[in-house]
Structure 1
């Protein structure tokens, strides 16, 4: 048996490992995950998802949604720690350039068991204010 080594240096996401039960993906900075590109949150209805910051600066947004409004927690990720987002929890990541995050999720995660929701202007302003403090440390 030979070991396999997986890497990805491009922009955005690449699923580098899939064993038909779960996948490991590498998520590098992309405009959609920049603080200026942020516009939505997502939720997985069937599975948890785990995130690990490998390098750079990244923020994990997690939220509950009640009465069509989000109660958003802004978490500064620390390298090497595992952040578990339980199913039915809204989330997203914000990253600075040169950031690399790894995530693990069920291999069957798709548009069929996930959804997206646009953030309101006030929610975006709140997130951007908190994120600026973290990124400018």
Structure 2
């Protein structure tokens, strides 16, 4: 009667999808390392909750304006649920071995997203801020 799920591969895998909601697991993949992140994403129809299960990760929310991008970077702690409200730009960085549980509306991964791709200078600034966050905790 009890179902069990575990994602052992790299990257994102939604594995428990029910009417109205889904649970996914995000495991480290090279594309989630500080130097490789090249964009933010946004969801218009769902909040997205994150729970660090293992390793190190930094969750980022952002505001994009004419003056540039303003970041809120949180070095995640295991056992704390972090929520990114709908209509907030965000991304996440994971170190090797990290695993994060994600809860959101069902089928979010199939179309409720938009991307903001960094230009070269934005990507370098973002990487520098992320490295500082990993060293110091919060930026």
Normalised TM-score (structure 2): 0.89
Post-superposition Cα deviations, 1:57-100, rounded to whole Å, max 9, x if no partner, equal 10011001112832112111111111100011000000111000
1:111: how far off?
Answer: 5.4
Indicate yes or no: 2:44 matched with 1:11: no
1:121 to partner: Cα distance? 2.8
CA–CA separation in structure 2 for the residues paired with 1:68 and 1:31:
30
**Structure 2, unpaired ranges of 5+:** none
TM-score, scaled relative to structure 1: 0.90
Unaligned runs of 5+ in 1: none
CA RMSD for the aligned pairs?
Answer: 1.7
Alignment of 1:1-137 (within 5 A): 2-67=1-66, 69-110=68-109, 112-136=111-135
Kept in 2, the 8 Å contact 1:54–1:102? The answer is yes
Q: Is the 8 A contact 1:74 1:127 kept in 2?
A: no
Whole-angstrom distance in 2 between the partners of 1:86 and 1:119: 21
Instruction: Return the alpha-carbon distance in structure 1 between the equivalents of residues 133 and 8 of structure 2.
Output: 25
